[in-house]
Structure 1
Amino acid sequence: MIQDVLREPAKAAIFLVADVRPGSEASVRDLLADLAGLTRAVGFRAPGDQLSCVVGIGASLWSRLYRAPAPRDLHPFRGLSGARHTAPATHGDLLFHLRARRLDLCFELERQLMRRLAGHVRVLDEVQGFKYFDERDLLGFVDGTENPAGAAARAALAIGDQDPAYAGGSYVIVQKYLHDLDAWQALPVAEQERVIGRSKLSDIELTDQAVNSHVAVNTIVDPDGTERQIVRENMAFGSPGAAEFGTYFIGYAGTPEVIERMLRRMFVGEPAGNHDRILDFSTAVTGSLFFVPAADFLENPLDNSTSDGSLGIGSLKRSSR
């Protein structure tokens, strides 16, 4: 059973990236096994506000937690350097993606997580995100218009027969982008629309699409004409007092290759030099890749375990429910 990735758009989120201290692996495994119950306990106070938490595991942590082979496509995030823009790779062992209709629920669940993990992890990045007006980012455009829904969303984000031992899992890539709002707002609206590839008010895709628009660059089509999709759960964040304004990108897919190609097209260009023009106003400051195990994998980490408590390969032979 896949983790609780598919939800209607949340109003609030917390993104927490952490490193696990050496010797703390057993404590982390215990916390991950209890994560679903802990989320239910906090969310029970306000069931209508749909608290959820998805956890991802980084490549460098996997072999420390589990003896089983790593998922086929799990690797550290690969940084990119184009002629003008760079996508940095930043480290992270764990990603917690907390969502709800109210920030206080996310806050309380994070507090309980950190209480359990005190002394065992070092927080590398912590971002509180929010929905901005009618599903827009801080640039003023609707974000996530092309997200698939229903069966198409499940097909886009879930691992299937290509890695059957981990069927029902997913991959997630996160990046934190900071916006130069002064430079952006100095552009006429018509020019902003050419950068994005959509009309600002109606959110309709432009018919005369620029080849370096955000929409054009992020449309991935296979040679047979199939458009590849991902599930985005982006959130706005910021601190006006510190003049910090940004978007936290988070994309789920059954293979990281889809998102990695999007990023190559954005930062390097296909052909080289045709970078996504949104990067002239938005700077990536983090980049990490994680594997999102199936829920039953997390809840039963010691099934068929080895004598030292590490997870054995046999416990991976589960079907996706």
Structure 2
Amino acid sequence: MVESQAVVVPPAGATIFLVATVTPGHEDTVRGLLEDVAGLRRSVAYRAPEDLLTCVVGIGSAVWDRLFTGPRPRGLHPFVELTGEHHRAPSTPGDLLFHLRARRTDLCFELARLLTERLRGAVTVVDEVHAFRYFDERDLLGFVDGSENPQGRPAHESVFIGEEDPDFRGGSYVTVQKYLHDLPAWQALPDDEQAKVIGRTKAANVELPDGAKPADSHVALTTITGEDGGERKIVRENMPFGTVGEGEFGTYFIGYARTPDVTEQMLRNMFLGEGRATHDRILDFSTAITGCLFHVPTADFLDDLPAAPGSLEPGGPGGDRS
């Protein structure tokens, strides 16, 4: 049985997102760290097991072939930049993602410190976000975020790769974007107008009926239906962040999915429009400043990495690893 990384977990009280690029010539250092991530997490989590420290590692397209021989995950490619009539989703550098979650900030901080200490000189941290739970799972716009996430078996079916890519069964894909909010402009809207932008009521977190939900609302444009008529889901683990002295307020979007196709369709709808909507109205108040796509390998993959390029070692998904 394949052991996946801890992608589907209860909501966290604290999160740190680290995105890094790998310095050429230091791939062996990165491989050594990837094999030790699980042990480092256990070392920190042992101090407070009840606070549920987890670490998910994602690996980007540009660095994959520098780290491993053998096949690539079928859906792994660079984040697709989108330029619409009104808004843009940029593609930004990112070879590694570390998604750290716990009930307490200190556990995330200590693990982040250990990871970056091991990688010093081998990577450049290009984005670091310390995020937090805000009241009852709300974002800084005041709306509950992630309430439509699938639960239980449907969540696993939405997130984890199956037999469509057997070499990477049990892995996942994760898309991340950092959004900054124009809070003064947002707060100038009455609550009923904010609800129309989101497609849900603010206080009760109830989705607006179809007749009252605008075509350009966030909910309308991010509801994706498959060929069978069923809704295609992702698992969002979004978290708010901010720096009050600098007036920076944002949401770190992070969406896990079995295939990046679903998230990419959501983003196309948001930035390029769909039907009567030219774009998602939330983008009039929230600006995307980063965009990366990563493959999330299984825990088994990280424990026993495929051979490095140029190495004679056996291994790799589907290879002789006996």
Deviation sequence 1:22-77 (CA, Å, 0-9, x none): 11111111110111111010010000000000000000100000011211110000
The answer as to 2:231 corresponding to 1:227 is yes
Q: Please name the residue that 1:44 is paired with.
A: 46
The answer as to 2:296 corresponding to 1:292 is yes
Report if the CA contact (8 A) 2:57-2:97 is conserved.
yes
Residue from 191, 214, 221 that aligns with 2:218: 214
TM-score (norm 1): 0.95
Q: Please name the residue that 2:258 is paired with.
A: 254
Tell me, in whole angstroms, the C-alpha distance in 2 between the residues paired with 1:194 and 1:182: 18
Deviation sequence 1:93-115 (CA, Å, 0-9, x none): 10000000001100000000011
Q: Please name the residue that 1:185 is paired with.
A: 187
Inter-CA distance 194–311: structure 2 relative to 1 (3 Å threshold): farther
Q: Which amino acid aligns with 1:88?
A: P
Deviation sequence 1:258-283 (CA, Å, 0-9, x none): 00000000000113752110000000
Deviation sequence 1:227-280 (CA, Å, 0-9, x none): 000011000000010000000000000100000000000000113752110000
Report if the CA contact (8 A) 1:65-1:310 is conserved.
no
Q: Please name the residue that 1:15 is paired with.
A: 17
The 4+ residue runs of structure 1 with deviation greater than 3 A are: 305-312
Q: Which amino acid aligns with 1:180?
A: D
Q: Please name the residue that 2:8 is paired with.
A: 6
TM-score (norm 2): 0.95
The answer as to 2:271 corresponding to 1:267 is yes
Inter-CA distance 3–139: structure 2 relative to 1 (3 Å threshold): same
The answer as to 2:158 corresponding to 1:164 is no
| Runs (5+) with no aligned partner, structure 1 | none
Alignment of 1:1-321 (within 5 A): 1-207=3-209, 208-271=212-275, 274-301=278-305, 305=307, 308-309=310-311, 314-317=315-318
| Runs (5+) with no aligned partner, structure 2 | none
Tell me, in whole angstroms, the C-alpha distance in 1 between the residues paired with 2:268 and 2:151: 25
3-state SS of 2:229 partner: coil
* Structure 1 residue 310, shift from structure 2 partner: 7.0
Tell me, in whole angstroms, the C-alpha distance in 1 between the residues paired with 2:178 and 2:313: 33
Inter-CA distance 158–237: structure 2 relative to 1 (3 Å threshold): same
* Structure 1 residue 306, shift from structure 2 partner: 6.9
Tell me, in whole angstroms, the C-alpha distance in 2 between the residues paired with 1:120 and 1:197: 44
Q: Which amino acid aligns with 1:278?
A: I
Tell me, in whole angstroms, the C-alpha distance in 2 between the residues paired with 1:155 and 1:311: 34
Aligned residues, how many?
A: 315
3-state SS of 1:178 partner: strand
Q: Which amino acid aligns with 2:317?
A: L
Deviation sequence 1:287-310 (CA, Å, 0-9, x none): 0000000110001115xx479447
Tell me, in whole angstroms, the C-alpha distance in 2 between the residues paired with 1:93 and 1:264: 23
Report if the CA contact (8 A) 2:270-2:280 is conserved.
yes
Inter-CA distance 47–180: structure 2 relative to 1 (3 Å threshold): same
Report if the CA contact (8 A) 1:13-1:130 is conserved.
yes
Inter-CA distance 11–306: structure 2 relative to 1 (3 Å threshold): closer
Cα RMSD for the two superposed structures? 1.4
